[in-house]
């Protein structure tokens, strides 16, 4: 994985994404706050990210998710994040995988 990150090897991450499947990727995206939250929509100055998953596709396009779409998610093409969301992910990595939520302090 370290080498795949260093070399930005999309094929490695395609394979990881296919093995994890979209449901698990979506679960972790929600846990990390990479999906639009109700708090973001109530604050007009707060930007919202986008994470495409089966729920998002059905809600916005009234279409089902195809497994081949998961590879785009796995390499970050089917999503957009705000600087705060990216900082949160970086903090999880820096904390050895532990998510520290400021609201719970």
Are 51 and 26 spatial neighbours (Cβ–Cβ below 8 Å)?
Answer: yes
Question: Checking DSSP bridges between strand 79-80 and strand 50-51, what pairing results, if any?
Answer: antiparallel
Q: How far is residue 12's CA from residue 25's CA, in Å, rounded to a whole number? A: 15
Mean pLDDT (the chain) is 84
Would you say residue 64 has pLDDT above 60? yes
Q: What is the pLDDT of residue 97?
A: 86
- Sorted by where each begins, the domain ranges of the chain are 2-35+49-104
Question: In the predicted model, what is the mean pLDDT of residues 21-42?
Answer: 79
Question: In the predicted model, what is the mean pLDDT of residues 24-40?
Answer: 79
Helix (DSSP H) and strand (DSSP E) numbers for the chain? 6, 2
Would you say residue 104 has pLDDT above 60? no
Q: How far is residue 62's CA from residue 54's CA, in Å, rounded to a whole number? A: 10
pTM of the model: 0.77
């Amino acid at each position: 994985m370290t080498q795949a990150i260093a070399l930005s090897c999309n094929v490695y991450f395609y394979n990881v994404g296919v093995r994890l499947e979209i449901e698990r990727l979506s679960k972790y995206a929600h846990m990390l706050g990479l999906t639009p939250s109700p708090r973001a929509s109530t604050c007009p100055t707060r930007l919202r990210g986008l994470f495409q998953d089966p729920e998002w596709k059905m809600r916005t396009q009234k279409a089902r998710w195809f497994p081949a779409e998961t590879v785009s998610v796995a390499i970050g093409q089917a999503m957009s994040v705000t600087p705060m969301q990216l900082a949160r992910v970086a903090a999880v990595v820096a904390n050895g995988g532990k998510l520290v939520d400021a609201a719970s302090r």
